[in-house]
Chain A
């Protein structure tokens, strides 16, 4: 049986492990050796606020790790500075395996924007557990029925005739649109970007007629889509989303190859001992395959997946390059 069973037996084992861990702390309070890891609580730093999407997924994984490893895994929110504060806190932590954290898409963009010198190189990648592609939306009564209609109209429009919203300046949804325009050979300055504090106000502005285009992930737009006020035209991903099979990919709808979306992965500070990193990869990999986790992610509308170790590193390298190019394109690279 490979699935995690929540039987009294497991509970007993967990209690026992906790007791053993406690005893270990008392016995040897010396430097953490990989063999004895973990023998005290593991802090998980989240660079975004409590109650948000990243926080919710982090807490879910932390609670599963707690069961598997038998030590508490407290989640600490270090918010602010467009994610700089929290990402820095993970990188600056002691690389002993007792501090891990969630890295998000922003790690690939913030250094291009001159906000920090920090890059993904400050981390040991544990694994990528979620990526939610952006989608492009119009108002329900918009004349544009397909992504191709819209792209053609934008190509013919005058500068700044179209306005779009969905994130802050340089945020994921801004870059998603900018990359789309670039892929279609349209100058990115053609569409005026109206910055918003996250996807929800941007989508509401679209519904109210303040802008003509918005980019956001499908779960973020679910409420206004259900209310029949906005319409998705295409998803910016190589594959259709299993949860919304009717929404075509950008390739299908407009013949453009461009994908962009927010993602979340688990990282440890650089220098964390290799055996500990390997163990973490195995444990998190196990956690993200449990039924508890999969049901939770499904209920929230978040995509699931697992790309551990070097695969995740390669993903972050590509992400960094991609964001750098798009930021240069929109003039935000410093």
Chain B
């Protein structure tokens, strides 16, 4: 109980509250501007967290990401351009609503059900994380090895409609992460004798390059004119929200549950959660024919899903140090930097930190309603900010941010190269998210494989000897061989009636 009181004190003090307010505005702004993603918002925030205490730093991360995911709905509704990838699933729907004159309902549903979904995900986080952590205290390198491998498999299988390209990007991430001395044998790899490369390719410049610089390049090369903003007075955002809650309770719960689960799976975040929820909503709807014509049902469900995914993704991140999505991949980096190394011991050594994270999530989702409302009111002004001014400012932040971590100009070079490479890959339909997961998970996988091999003296059977490791191992192998198993089962089924006949 003392820890809870301490946690409240850590969150509700002037410094943290000011940071929360500032990050809310920052997150809402970045989310609302098309082309500026939630991941970019977090990546550019990391250098600033150097100067913060651990809890304010996490407050900034939690608030910015929650606000940005919601705010992504705004330009989707008014411009038919999703502000973040997480809103892409229902952009057409909400734009159609705006054309029908229901922009306020579309935005209101996005806001209210984002907050509800976010709170639901938080409740699951609070309920599940400590139990999982207790469980994870008994994990050795064998369990971690299988868990990471299973996560990587999910990342490729779910995260994209292009599993092959996703897989290639994941392996590219492995390759980038293998540069330097940070490997179990502390052997210099791919350094060419360069002292800077011995330290490896910095995570932060890589991140900023891949998610921010690449967007700037895309903007610079994009000559298409912006579509006009729908000019429609947005009067009462909250009107009819209670009616929607009563009308669609199943959708809200289903979206929140699916969102949390998808978020918790490594590799799949808010965007996938929203796409899946929208599809589920349409499939089970009583009026599927209305979808796409400006019908609010899908927005209610997937709006809840993308924000609940946010909290869901923190579960594996905090308990195992395995990121649930690209946002938590960044958060994990910040946790290490702040000496709050993720893992089961985080829950036992300093429980007040964990409680503070819970409180931050609840608080961020609650203040999302007033802050979001205000943003909707000024949305047209935000969307009118000239990008010719905005983009150079962001480039400046990219450069300063990359330099800040190590005070090394070398890192600026990494940021630029990563930006160009990410731009070229994305233009050719390679998803970049699996690459960043590869960078985070690759070294973990290698370390746990090497540790396990040393412990087992090279006997593969030991990988299945401990009960949890065995279950995880078999599950991974089943997922891998599933396409073949399905073909085999199909053949067996096909054969049986014939032999019976």
A interface residue numbers (CB < 8 A to B):
49-52, 76-82, 84-85, 88, 113, 115-116, 160, 163, 165, 168-171, 192-197, 200-201, 204-205, 207-211, 223-224, 227, 229
Contacts and interface: CB of A to CB of B under 8 A. Distances in A.
B454 A80 contact: no
16 contacts: A50-B50, A51-B336, A80-B199, A80-B202, A81-B199, A82-B186, A85-B198, A113-B186, A165-B451, A169-B186, A192-B455, A193-B454, A194-B451, A196-B451, A208-B137, A210-B140
Given A115-B181, A169-B186, A208-B137, A195 B451 contact: yes
Nearest to A224: B345
A81 B138 CA distance: 31
A80 B180 contact: yes
Nearest to B202: A80
Interface in B121-175: 137-142
A80 B198 contact: yes
Interface residues of B, number: 40
Contacts of A171: 186
A115 B198 contact: yes
A291 to B, nearest CB: 23
B406 A208 contact: no
A51 B198 contact: no
B184 interface: yes
A84 B184 CA distance: 17
A192 B455 CA distance: 8
A165 B454 CA distance: 11
Given A160-B457, A210-B141, A210-B142, A85 B199 contact: yes
Contacts of B100: none
B348 interface: yes
Nearest to A227: B348
A163 B140 CA distance: 13
Interface in B317-363: 336-339, 341, 343-345, 348-349
A186 B101 CA distance: 83
Given A193-B454, A195-B451, A197-B447, A78 B186 contact: no
Contacts of A193: 454
Interface string B373-399: 000000000000000000000000000
Q: Is the interface of B mostly helix, strand, loop or mixed?
A: loop
Contacts of B200: 80-81
Interface in B85-140: 137-140
Given A168-B184, A196-B451, A204-B345, A209 B140 contact: yes
B198 A49 contact: no
Nearest to A198: B341
B293 interface: no
A194 B199 contact: no
B141 A205 contact: yes
B196 interface: yes
A50 to B, nearest CB: 6
Nearest to A51: B339
A172 to B, nearest CB: 13
B4 interface: no
A227 B408 CA distance: 41
Contacts of B199: 79-81, 84-85
Contacts of B223: none
Contacts of B349: 223
B408 A78 contact: yes
Contacts of A160: 457
Nearest to A76: B407
- For B137, B348, B406, the residue with the greatest tally of chain A CB atoms inside 10 Å of its CB is B406
B408 A51 contact: no
A209 B138 contact: yes
B186 A208 contact: no
A254 B336 CA distance: 37
Interface string B434-457: 000000000000010011001101
A205 to B, nearest CB: 6
Given A78-B408, A81-B195, A195-B450, A210 B339 contact: no
Contacts of A208: 137-140
Given A80-B180, A163-B454, A205 B407 contact: no
B188 interface: yes
B195 A85 contact: yes
Contact of A168 (B139, B186, B344, B408): B186
B22 to A, nearest CB: 21
B461 interface: no
A223 B186 contact: no
Contacts of A210: 140-142, 451, 455
